[in-house]
Amino acid sequence: MPARDQRPIETKLGPWITRPLELVHPDVMPFWEGVGKHEFRLCHCKRCGAFYWPFTVCINHADIPDFDEMEWVPVSGRGKIFSYLVVHQVHDPDFRAEVPYGVAMVELDEGPLFPGRIVDSDPYQVKIGTPLEVVYLDVPEAGHTLPFFRPVQESGSPLTTRERSGEHTLRKSHGAE
């Protein structure tokens, strides 16, 4: 598993981050307990190894649906953009400082689709297939941790996606000289 990018989140986030996680279903609590330890967990079938999000029984053994066969295990927290949208409207004043921002359906490396907010990038520069990795924001005043996704940095370079694409253009023009 590649080393996780430990940089803090640079995207400005609104006061909504302190709102309590009031809609967490007990079946999904192991996921949030993992997030609190900066550990990304998926539901995993002990019999065949398939991964799921959220908690469910394995569809590969529909003859004997058995919750006891399922467990939560730590996974990579990496994936790529399966689909995304850019939010422009301020439907809630707590998000005002953040628009426009990207929300993605992330196709995790282990297979399941996971909805997540994209941070630390220009939302117009990402595209379907852009590699993402999870990044955690501890919110001590609320007593919880929130998971976000940001584009994977290839070499620890601090360049943004836009700057990287500009760098490629520059190299091309040098090569043509």
What is the rounded distance in angstroms from the CA atom of residue 118 to the CA atom of residue 132?
Answer: 8
Nearer CB in complex with Zn ion: 13/58 = 58
The full DSSP string for 96-114 is GGG-SEEEEEEEETTS-EE
Output 32 or 51, the one with its CB closest to Zn ion.
51
Distance in Å, CB of 80 to Zn ion, minimum = 24
Binding site residues, Zn ion, CB under 5 A: 45, 47-48, 50, 58, 60
Query: Minimum distance from CB of 112 to Zn ion (Å)?
Result: 13
Smaller CB separation from Zn ion, 70 or 146? 70
Largest CA distance in the chain: 67
> Cβ of residue 74: shortest distance to Zn ion, in angstroms?
18
